[in-house]
Amino acid sequence: MNGWVADIVDKETADKVGKVWGLGSDTPKDPGPWEGELRNMWKPTQQEALWFHGGNLHQSRHYSHHLAMQLKARMEGIPTPVFGLQDVHHTG
């Protein structure tokens, strides 16, 4: 998804967002460090007002409610802390 941001928006925004998907399982396609939850999915990113929603039908149906509740809470001024924002990625 980070590549799509670079293609659709720009490379600077993609660099700011950081990695998307994966847990940091330290495998070739999912390098560490361990994150504890999916990177940048269904939570705020380093780019203001940019959220990622994706996955198969089951994930989309389940997490669309989770995402909508977070957005509504933010609109109402209710604090919605997150585990952590992803570090900036592949700049240069």
pLDDT per residue over 23-41, tens digit each? 888 888 887 777 777 888 8
Identity of the residue numbered 84: G
pTM for this structure?
0.72
Which pLDDT belongs to residue 92?
Answer: 46
Q: CA-to-CA distance for 75 and 90, rounded, in angstroms?
A: 32
Alpha helices in 30-92 (DSSP H): 57-75
The alpha-carbon radius of gyration of the chain (Å, integer) is 14
Q: Percent of the chain, pLDDT > 90? A: 21
Q: What is the mean pLDDT of residues 8-24?
A: 88
Burial of 55 (0-12, 13-18, 19+ CB in 10 A): middle
